[in-house]
């Protein structure tokens, strides 16, 4: 007999204690993130099957979504067509006629065990005609017993996400068992007034409709997430996400910060020392950052700007103001290449300002490292650029006042917390440092409202003067001579080129061109007239730095590389970016790679070399790249193609996960939920009103301790 589990919060009961779930099944469910009864009841069906109408086999005609019930009268391997293709076939009889169901991908032993003569099955799927007879190809199949038949026939049936070793029949059964025992514990969260204002149903009826939809509902509306139950549950997810962000923002605004005095003399001197004039967009963003630096509260700002828009110079201007006020500043980047690029920029533009700056990465060791650590601790070093090495133990600042985190989506939330902690207030300096978060990956409005809903946002939406839009072309293998001719023309004109591959070395499993072998082929085409070199992530830091220095100085003409060059490489003389097997890269990565060229007054080109057998999604992706260089349009398309789970590594963001909400689909509901959440925190910052007691409980549960990182984006 299964042990009873008692819990003051029944929906927090471990899923193992649901009838029909033991330790083995609980382990399978845990792989799906289902740990409690509440998690189980929150599982969202991916689609719904309409089994309200069961057709007689004699009535079957070709068409979509047909359902029949019958008994297996024949089952086994057979052969089809002139080539005698091996298939598995079952014949179903319902008394009015017979129909064939064919399976082209099967494991014979498993199918022989599953489809035994005399067993009753429900088949659902598309019907086609073959030799004037109806047939199913790979239909949905479900064996029927007395209980199962009562549960699926004549109803709208949910189809759940599964993991290996878990089946629909089992999932439906345990969800039914959990519902029967715990549904009375599902209580309203919002007040009646709030629910009425935002047209929300109560959670009990929503979950009932989700798992056990009534026969008068439209299964299509359920599948596309447009039922009233879906709308309510989507609002609920967005609301509690935005409520946590609103609370973070509120808490951040009341923390003590540093009010940095303005120093127009140094600012103007720095601007005059630059070899270019700031764009209007850069000037506007500097003004927004300076307003934050005026205030006695810590800045928490996101700076978005397309590749090559001049974000680093803006960050350097802000850091210079902090340094002029007697503080230290830091720029943290995710890779050594990017950190070195920032260091080069500082070396180029800030040397005239006469303050000590340096770089700290894991490659810097021994006496050099000790000297840097000493200079940071005693305050002699005013600006340090670095990688994750900056947040290691032993790195201490005397008076850290300004922090820049670049390509921040590559850092986890705890890492971003750690760099700010290096400037923790003290008796001498009671204020927290300002934080500027930068990204060259444009963020769609929907994600900006979620991932960065607690930040102020600045956008550099203008490229430096004289830059020409990059011309992007899509080539296939038969265009290779045309590609090499175009590269030769650019190289002969004194320009340089990148050729990027998705693999380092040839793989037996994947038929892709790879950087190692193709660097030899390209050398065979262009050397000795032009120098070709290889760069990839497995090289030592010293070798990578040597090759990059040679490429920057123009001694290497063609750099063959993996996507290690995606960020942080700035060679204005490079005018050609060739991306081999472009169909294997995501939109965001393609956009970043393209941004390695077009960084000077020279016309630049991006050539996407793609396999003609590419998928429909990759065709769409590459079509977007050819049509536009607008990073924000590309980001919106990327979000709709990939979904929010992978976009910008949102799993690292420290935010509660979405179970039902879809950022690309539900942006309208997101806007309503955000407005409602921020208004609630404005009206009741501590959620102290009696009508908000349940809201506060749910908020704490959803964020699971992540609210203690309220001041970290």
Question: Of all residues in the chain, what percent are helix, strand and coil, respectively (each to 5)?
Answer: 45, 20, 40
Residues 167-179 have a mean pLDDT of 92
According to the model, what pLDDT value does residue 705 have?
59
Instruction: Tell me what the mean pLDDT of segment 469-497 comes to.
Output: 95
Q: How many other C-beta atoms lie within 10 A of the C-beta of residue 403?
A: 28
CA distance 573 to 496: 6
Confidence of residue 101 (pLDDT cuts 50, 70, 90): very high
pLDDT attached to residue 372: 94
Runs of H (alpha helix) within 295-443: 311-324, 336-349, 366-378, 413-421
Rounded to the nearest 10°, the torsion over CA 402, 407, 411, 412 is: 90
User: Does residue 652 surpass a pLDDT of 70?
Assistant: no
Domain 53-153 part of CATH 2.40.50.140: yes
- Answer for the pair 181, 18: CB distance below 8 angstroms, yes or no: yes
Q: Grade residue 508 by pLDDT with cuts at 50, 70 and 90.
A: very low
Contact 566, 527 (CB under 8 A): no
pLDDT tens, 583-611?
988 888 898 889 889 888 899 999 999 98
Average pLDDT for 673-690: 92
- What is the pLDDT, as a whole number, of residue 413? 59
- CA gap 460, 525 in Å, rounded: 40
Q: How confident is the model at residue 654 (pLDDT cuts 50, 70, 90)?
A: low
Q: What is the mean pLDDT of the chain?
A: 86
This prediction's pTM:
0.70
State the Cα–Cα distance between residues 653 and 473, nearest whole angstrom: 35
In sequence order, the β-bridge partners of residue 206 are none
Spatial CB neighbours of 436, under 8 Å, sequence gap ≥ 6: 289, 299, 301, 303, 315, 318, 402, 403, 404, 405
Q: Give CATH 3.40.50.300 domain extents, the chain.
A: 264-460, 471-628
CATH architecture classification, 471-628: 3-Layer(aba) Sandwich (3.40)
Dihedral (C-alpha) 568, 569, 575, 576: value to the nearest 10 degrees? -90
- For residues 17-35, give the mean pLDDT: 92
Beta strands 605-609 and 471-475: pairing type? parallel
Architecture of domain 264-460: 3-Layer(aba) Sandwich (3.40)
Answer with the residue of higher pLDDT: 24 or 657: 24
User: Boundaries of CATH 2.40.50.140 in the chain?
Assistant: 53-153
pLDDT bracket for residue 452 (50, 70, 90): confident
- Name the least confident of 122-131, 411-420, 546-555, 676-685: 411-420
- Mean per-residue pLDDT, 390-411: 85
* CA dihedral for 342, 344, 345, 349, sign (positive or negative): positive
Average pLDDT for 295-304 = 91
pLDDT for 7 equals 47
Peptide bond into 528 cis (omega under 30): yes
141 phi and psi angles, rounded to 5 deg: -125, 145
């Amino acid at each position: 007999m299964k042990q009873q589990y008692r819990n003051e919060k029944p929906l927090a009961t471990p899923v193992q204690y649901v009838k029909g779930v033991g330790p083995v099944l609980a382990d399978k469910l845990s792989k799906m993130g289902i740990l409690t009864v509440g998690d189980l009841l929150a599982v969202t069906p991916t689609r719904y099957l309409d089994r309200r109408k069961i057709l007689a086999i004699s009535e079957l005609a070709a068409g979509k979504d047909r359902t029949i019930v019958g008994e297996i009268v024949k089952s086994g391997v057979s052969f089809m067509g002139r080539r005698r293709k091996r298939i598995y076939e079952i014949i179903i009889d319902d008394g009015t006629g017979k129909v064939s169901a064919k399976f082209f991908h099967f494991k014979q032993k498993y199918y022989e065990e599953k489809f035994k003569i005399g067993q009753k099955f429900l088949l659902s799927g598309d019907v086609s005609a073959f030799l004037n007879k109806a047939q199913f190809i790979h239909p949905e199949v479900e064996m029927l017993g007395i209980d199962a038949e009562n549960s699926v026939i004549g109803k709208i049936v949910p189809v759940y996400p599964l993991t290996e070793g878990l089946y629909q029949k089992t999932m439906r059964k345990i969800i039914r068992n959990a519902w029967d025992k715990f549904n009375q514990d599902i209580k309203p969260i919002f007040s009646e007034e709030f629910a009425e204002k935002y047209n929300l149903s109560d959670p009990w009826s929503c979950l009932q409709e989700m798992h056990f939809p009534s026969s008068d509902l439209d299964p299509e509306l359920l599948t596309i997430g447009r039922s009233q139950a879906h709308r309510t549950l989507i609002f609920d997810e967005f609301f509690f996400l935005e409520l946590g962000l609103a609370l973070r923002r509120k808490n951040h605004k009341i923390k003590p910060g540093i009010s940095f005095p303005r120093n127009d003399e140094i600012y103007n001197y720095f601007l005059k020392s630059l070899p270019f004039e700031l764009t209007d967009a850069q000037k506007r963003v500097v003004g927004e950052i300076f307003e934050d630096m005026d205030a006695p509260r810590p800045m928490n700002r996101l700076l978005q700007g397309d590749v090559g828009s001049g974000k680093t110079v803006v960050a350097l201007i802000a850091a210079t103001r902090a340094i002029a006020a007697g503080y230290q500043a830091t720029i943290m980047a995710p890779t050594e290449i990017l950190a070195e690029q920032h260091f080069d920029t500082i070396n180029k533009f800030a040397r005239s300002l006469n303050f000590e700056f340096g770089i700290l990465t894991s490659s810097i060791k021994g006496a050099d490292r000790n000297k840097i650590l000493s200079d940071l601790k005693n305050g002699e070093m005013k600006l340090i650029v670095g990688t994750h090495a900056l947040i290691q133990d032993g790195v201490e600042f005397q008076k850290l006042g300004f922090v820049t985190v670049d390509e921040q989506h590559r850092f986890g939330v705890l890492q971003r917390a750690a760099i700010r902690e290096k400037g923790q207030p003290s008796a001498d300096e009671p204020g927290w440092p300002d934080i500027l978060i930068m990204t060259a990956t444009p963020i769609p409005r929907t994600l900006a409202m979620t991932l960065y809903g607690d930040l102020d946002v600045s956008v550099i939406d203008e490229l430096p003067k004289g830059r020409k839009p990059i011309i992007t072309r899509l080539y296939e293998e038969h265009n290779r001579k045309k590609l090499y001719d175009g590269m030769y023309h650019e190289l002969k004109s004194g320009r340089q080129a990148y050729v990027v591959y998705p693999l380092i070395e040839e793989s037996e499993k994947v038929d892709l061109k790879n950087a190692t072998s193709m660097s030899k082929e390209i050398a065979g085409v262009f050397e000795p007239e032009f120098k070709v070199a290889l760069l990839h992530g497995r090289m030592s830091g010293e070798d990578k730095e040597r090759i990059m220095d040679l490429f920057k100085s123009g001694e290497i003409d063609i750099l063959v590389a993996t996507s290690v060059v995606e960020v942080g490489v700035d060679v204005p003389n490079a005018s050609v970016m060739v991306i081999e097997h472009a169909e294997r890269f995501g939109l965001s990565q393609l956009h970043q790679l393209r941004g390695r060229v077009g960084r000077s007054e020279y016309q630049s080109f991006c050539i996407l070399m793609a396999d003609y057998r590419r998928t429909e999604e990759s065709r769409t992706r590459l079509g977007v790249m050819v049509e536009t260089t607008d990073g924000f349009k590309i980001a919106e398309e990327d979000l709709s193609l990939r979904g929010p789970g992978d976009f910008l590594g949102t799993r690292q963001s420290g935010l509660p996960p979405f179970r039902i909400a879809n950022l690309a689909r539900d942006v309208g509901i997101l806007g309503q939920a955000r407005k409602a959440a921020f208004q609630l925190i404005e009206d009741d910052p501590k959620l102290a009103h009696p009508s908000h007691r349940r809201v506060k409980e749910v908020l704490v549960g959803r964020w699971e301790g992540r609210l203690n990182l309220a001041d970290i984006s």
